A and B are shown apart, each in its own frame.
Chain A
C-alpha cells in the first residue's frame, strides 16, 4: 500500500483493513492457540526407530516429527541426500525406498521402518561408481552439485522403470528434480549413456 500521499487517519483505516490480513501482527510461523502453546511445553514421546539404510540397520531415537531426510542428514550424518525445500518441490532429497524413488523430505522417518532405503552413499560398489555416476562426470551433468544426488537417484530409478527410452521421455520423467544451474541437457545425456550401459539397471 503506497501511503505516501494519504493521511494518518486513512493509514489507520488501511491498517485495520489490510493489516488484519496478516497474522494478527504475529510471528512468521503464525499464531498458535493458547491451548496449543501450553501444550507445547510437553515433549512429544521420542520413538525407537529401526531404519535400514544402504543395507545397514540403524537404531535411532527420533522425534516423531523427524523426516526421513533429516534422519539421514542430521542423525546419521549421511549428508549426500540434500535439502532444497523440505516440501517435495525440488527433488534434491530423492532416495530409493524398496527400489522406488521417493522424496525423503515428505516421509516421516518413524513410518519408514521395514523399508529398504538407498541413498547416494549406497550407490557405488566400493570404489566403483554406478554407471550413472560415471556418466554424470563424463557428461558434466552438474555444476554446483547440490541437486546431483537427487538427480542421480531419480535417474537410476528412471532407467530401472523403463522411462529412459528417448530424451523427451527422460525429460518428462526427470521433471521432479530441479536443477537451478540448468544442467538438464547434460543430465539427459548421462541418463541415456547409463541406460545403454550393460550394468545400469541395478543399484537399489
Chain B
C-alpha cells in the first residue's frame, strides 16, 4: 500500500472537513468505512490516497421503515439490512440482492454507503500492470476495449470505458426508485440513485456525482406496492460468492394476472446500475405469458453494444428479465 495518514475524526463534521472524495483515483484523501473494497484497492495500488479518513462510528447504521418507505443508514451493514424481517417481507428484492452478494463475512463488514461506492471489477482497472485505464489514470486509454471483455458492460459504455458497475444492491435500489442522502459541510442534499452514478463518457474516472467533502449518510426507498412483489435474479459461473455475470431486479404491481406497473433494472451489463424504463412500460398492462415477456425484455437491448466476449450478455440479460418477472409475478 502507498503510505497514508490514517485520520480517525471524532465526529462527522470533522470528517467532512478533510474534504475527501469518494470514487476518484486521483483524490489525495479518501474516506473508509467497512473497507472491504477499499483495502483490496489499496493492496493492489489501484488507490493511493495520502490520507484515509475513517468514518467508523460516525454514521447512522439504523434501518427504519415507515409509511413513507425505507431509510437505510449509510453505516448499516449488508448483513443487518439483508436479515431485517420487514425488509425481507416488504422489500424482498433488497434482501435477495444483498444475500446474493459477496460472502457472509464481507456482508458483516461492508456498509450501505460503501456498497454504492464500490469500484468496478474490471480486471484491467484492478491490475496496475496495465497502464491503460481511463478510470484509473485519465487519458491513458482502455485495455478492455479490444481485450478480454467477458466481464464488461454492454450498456452505457463509451470508447473510453466499458467497465461494469459491480453492485447488486444498487440494481435492486435503482429499480425501486431509491435516493441517496448526501451530507457536506454546507448541508444536505438528496440525489436520486438513478442520477448518482455517472456514465463513463469521456471521463470514466468520475464515477459519481459526489463532490469533495461529501459523504453518503443514508439511502431512502419510497414506499411502493411493487416492492413487496419483487425479486433479484443473479446469473453467475459458480453457485455463490461471485459477482454477477448478469442480474435482474424486478418489482411488480399486479392486478390478478395483469401487470399494472413494473420496475426492472439490470446488473453486470451496465456501466452503472441500469434501469430499463422501456421494458417497464412494455410490461405494464400485459400479462405474464412468456411471449409477451420476451417482447418486453427485448427492449432492454436498446443501445446495447457487445465487444466480442461479452456479446452473450445482450441475450442473457433479456432472459434474466423474463425469468425474474415470472418469479416475481408468481409471488403472493
Contact = CB atoms under 8 A, between A and B. Distances in A.
B104 A106 contact: no
Interface stretch (B48-56, B60-68, B87-95, B185-193): B48-56
A87 B37 CA distance: 9
Given A23-B128, A106-B106, A111-B35, A30 B45 contact: yes
Contact of A175 (B36, B50, B56, B239): B239
Main secondary structure of the interface of B (DSSP, over half): loop
A64 B39 CA distance: 12
Interface string A20-37: 111110101111100010
Contacts of A88: 36, 39-40, 102-103, 105-106
Given A64-B6, A108-B32, A91 B143 contact: no
Nearest to B83: A161
Interface stretch (A4-12, A97-105, A141-149): A97-105
Chain A interface size range? 35 or more
Interface string B5-49: 110100000000000000000000000100110011011110010
A3 interface: no
A176 interface: yes
A125 interface: no
A113 B39 CA distance: 17
Contact of B130 (A21, A44, A94, A108): A21
B303 interface: no
B108 A101 contact: yes
B104 A176 contact: yes
The interface centre, meaning the residue of B48, B79, B109 with most chain A CB atoms within 10 A of its CB, is B109
A14 to B, nearest CB: 13
B209 interface: no
Contacts of B141: 20-21
A101 B129 CA distance: 33
A40 B2 CA distance: 8
Contacts of A20: 131-132, 141
B39 A91 contact: no
Interface in A35-89: 36, 39-40, 42-45, 47, 64-65, 67, 86-88
B175 to A, nearest CB: 24
Given A65-B3, A91-B103, A111-B56, A26 B109 contact: no
Contacts of A31: 128, 131, 137
B241 interface: yes
A163 B43 CA distance: 32
A102 B39 CA distance: 14
B284 to A, nearest CB: 34
Given A29-B45, A39-B50, A108-B35, A22 B131 contact: yes
Given A20-B132, A22-B132, A154-B104, 9 more contacts: A64-B3, A64-B52, A65-B42, A88-B36, A88-B106, A102-B105, A111-B54, A176-B105, A177-B103
Q: Which 9 A-B pairs have the closest CB atoms?
A: A176-B103, A30-B128, A175-B240, A64-B6, A44-B3, A65-B1, A21-B132, A23-B131, A175-B241
Interface of A: 20-24, 26, 28-32, 36, 39-40, 42-45, 47, 64-65, 67, 86-88, 91, 94, 97, 100-103, 105-108, 110-111, 154, 157-158, 161, 163, 171-173, 175-177
